[in-house]
């Protein structure tokens, strides 16, 4: 299994965290051929680890180094990987969410995603990515480093930790107050039954019979929020 490109993604994220020069690592990503990229990321573990690291590194780079506004940061194709240009939306909704339409709660595919993005997509959408991607806001999950050999355990930990910190239970009213990510990506989680399974699996909490209320999402800047 070739993890070379995955190591590049980890190196980039580490340099961002340590405020070290990033130009050399960025050049490695740029000059890599698209075919090499595609042939290196041969399974979902490799794909998820690579693209989560790239997304989290580049959000920080685009906001702090390139000063791209919050309004344009997701759609601007400023990320050069494998001699192709990507946006943050391409990575999140095209690759990691397997070309889902951004505003459909996860129900509809996006048929306008470019072919070169679609070819890199995961085979199966993993809802845990929502607890690993960081968009620089206060309500976002913190940034971790993802390795393809450990990613299953890492995503489980990220999910459990985030839910533990962001969920409030009111036993008297049988209400659970949850992150708004569950609303925005409702079908990624498998709707109500899927959300119930998530809490059972990751927090060992049975929320059947509970009303679900979605918390407001704080978009206040919280950059460089690493675990």
Phi, psi values for residue 35, rounded to 5°: -65, -40
**Euclidean distance between CA atoms 162 and 131, whole angstroms:** 7
C-beta of residue 59 within 8 angstroms of C-beta of residue 135: yes
**Averaged pLDDT, groups of 10, the chain, 227 residues long:** 81 97 97 96 98 98 92 96 98 98 96 96 98 97 97 98 98 97 98 98 97 97 95
Which helix (H) or strand (E) covers residue 86, if one does?
Answer: strand 84-86
C-beta of residue 44 within 8 angstroms of C-beta of residue 126: yes
Q: Where are the domains of the chain?
A: 4-140, 157-214
* CB proximity list for 181: less than 8 A, separation 6 or greater: 130, 131
Neighbours of 72 (CB within 10 A): 11
Which helix (H) or strand (E) covers residue 59, if one does?
Answer: helix 44-64
* CB proximity list for 153: less than 8 A, separation 6 or greater: none
pLDDT of residue 1: 36
User: Interior CA angle at 121 toward 142 and 190, to 5°?
Assistant: 65
Q: In terms of Cα–Cα distance, which of 178, 151, 180 is closest to 165?
A: 178
**Euclidean distance between CA atoms 159 and 102, whole angstroms:** 21
DSSP conformation class of 87: -
pLDDT of residue 153: 98
**Euclidean distance between CA atoms 84 and 79, whole angstroms:** 8
In whole angstroms, how large is the CA radius of gyration of the chain?
Answer: 18
C-beta of residue 145 within 8 angstroms of C-beta of residue 53: yes
**Euclidean distance between CA atoms 101 and 89, whole angstroms:** 10
């Amino acid at each position: 299994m070739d993890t070379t490109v995955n190591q590049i993604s980890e190196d980039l994220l580490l340099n961002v965290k340590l405020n070290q020069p990033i130009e050399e690592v960025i050049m490695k990503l740029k000059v890599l051929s698209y075919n090499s990229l595609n042939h290196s990321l041969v399974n979902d573990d490799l794909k998820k680890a690579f693209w989560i690291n790239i997304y989290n590194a580049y959000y920080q780079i685009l906001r702090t180094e390139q000063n791209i506004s919050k309004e344009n940061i997701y759609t601007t194709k400023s990320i050069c990987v494998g001699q192709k240009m990507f946006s943050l939306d391409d990575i999140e909704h095209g690759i990691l969410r397997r070309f889902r339409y951004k505003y459909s709660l996860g129900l509809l595919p996006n048929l306008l995603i470019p072919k070169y993005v679609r070819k890199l997509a995961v085979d199966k959408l993993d809802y845990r990515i929502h607890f690993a991607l960081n968009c620089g806001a206060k309500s976002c999950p913190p940034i971790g480093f993802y390795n393809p050999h450990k990613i299953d355990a890492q995503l489980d930990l990220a999910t459990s930790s985030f839910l533990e910190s962001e969920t409030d239970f009111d036993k008297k009213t049988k209400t659970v107050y949850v992150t708004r990510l569950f609303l925005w990506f409702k079908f990624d989680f498998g709707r109500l039954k899927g959300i119930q399974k998530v809490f059972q699996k990751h927090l060992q909490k049975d929320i059947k019979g509970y009303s679900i209320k979605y918390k407001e999402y704080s978009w206040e800047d919280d950059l460089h929020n690493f675990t």
